[in-house]
């Protein structure tokens, strides 16, 4: 093994989505300092026969919820990407994190005490347009537009790029 290399650790995370009271909700656990976190755990090759079986086991252990449909979404292996709950300790392994999506019916069971169904828009309040555009979104949009205009300055190519990508004028539409 090359100097400085400590091997690879593989972690699995699950985004479990359900409709609860006509709102998209994600199943969360309690993370560091009480913050909401996704169900997450390590893959142990000596113990776990498959990624999916490992995922199902720790999601059930952490949340009390039994997964139905799951699909692997993406594998992250970038250097510096950490998942501290995967293998606590001072080791310096390369982290490979595999994300899964699980969808469940509206009648999803109530999770265990340390888990809950959290409305997705609680994490992205600026995306919630049910009552119109939230004031924070207007301020964010104004700051973004000002920043893009400052970046573009007198450069017509930068201005055209900003206008087309971010719909800075009524002639452009940001979808």
Residues 54 and 99 in one domain: yes
For the stretch 49-97, pLDDT in tens is 999 999 999 999 999 888 888 999 998 887 666 555 444 445 556 778 8
Q: Looking up tokens 């199943």, which residue turns up?
A: 27
Helices (H), the chain: 51-63, 135-152, 156-166
DSSP for 123-155 reads T-GGG--BTBS-HHHHHHHHHHHHHHHHHHTT-
Q: Residue 7: left if φ>0, alpha if ψ -120 to 50, beta else—which one?
A: left
Residues 132 and 111 in one domain: no
Query: Sign of torsion, CA 114 57 39 88?
Result: positive
Q: What pLDDT, on the 0 to 100 scale, is given for residue 139?
A: 73
Task: Report the predicted TM-score, pTM, of the whole model to 2 decimal places.
Answer: 0.68
Residues 56 and 84 in one domain: yes
Mean of per-residue pLDDT scores for the chain:
81
Q: What pLDDT, on the 0 to 100 scale, is given for residue 105?
A: 72
Residues 131 and 113 in one domain: no
Higher pLDDT, 50 or 141: 50
Residue 52 belongs to a domain: yes
Percent of the chain with pLDDT over 70: 81
Residues 95 and 12 in one domain: yes
Residue 31 belongs to a domain: yes
Q: How far is CA 104 from CA 86, 109, 131, 136, in A?
A: 25, 10, 27, 32
φ/ψ of 171, rounded to 5, equals -70, -15
CATH number, domain with residue 62 = 3.90.79.10
Domain around 91: 8-123
In the chain, how many domains are there? 2
Among 103, 123, 143, give the residue marking a domain's end.
123
Of the candidate ranges 22-36, 62-76, 106-120, 152-166, the one whose mean pLDDT is the lowest: 106-120
Q: Determine the longest span between alpha carbons in the chain, in angstroms.
A: 61
Residues 76 and 21 in one domain: yes
CA angle, corner 115, sides to 109 and 117, nearest 5? 60
């Amino acid at each position: 093994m090359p100097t400085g290399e400590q091997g690879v650790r593989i972690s699995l995370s699950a985004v479990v989505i359900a409709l609860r009271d006509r709102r998209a909700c994600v199943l969360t656990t309690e993370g560091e300092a009480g913050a909401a976190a996704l169900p997450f755990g390590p893959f142990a090759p000596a113990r776990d026969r498959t990624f999916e079986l490992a995922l199902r086991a720790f999601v059930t252990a952490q949340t009390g919820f039994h997964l139905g449909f799951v699909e692997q979404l993406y594998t992250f292996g970038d250097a510096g990407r950490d998942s501290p709950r995967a293998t606590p300790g001072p080791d310096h392994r390369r982290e490979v994190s595999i994300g899964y999506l699980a969808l469940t019916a509206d009648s999803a069971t109530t999770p265990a005490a340390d888990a809950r169904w959290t409305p997705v828009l609680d994490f992205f309040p600026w995306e919630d347009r049910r009552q119109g555009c939230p004031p924070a979104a207007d301020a964010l949009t104004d700051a973004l537009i000002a920043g893009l205009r400052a970046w573009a300055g007198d450069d017509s190519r930068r201005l055209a790029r900003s206008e087309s990508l971010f719909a800075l004028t009524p002639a452009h539409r940001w979808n």
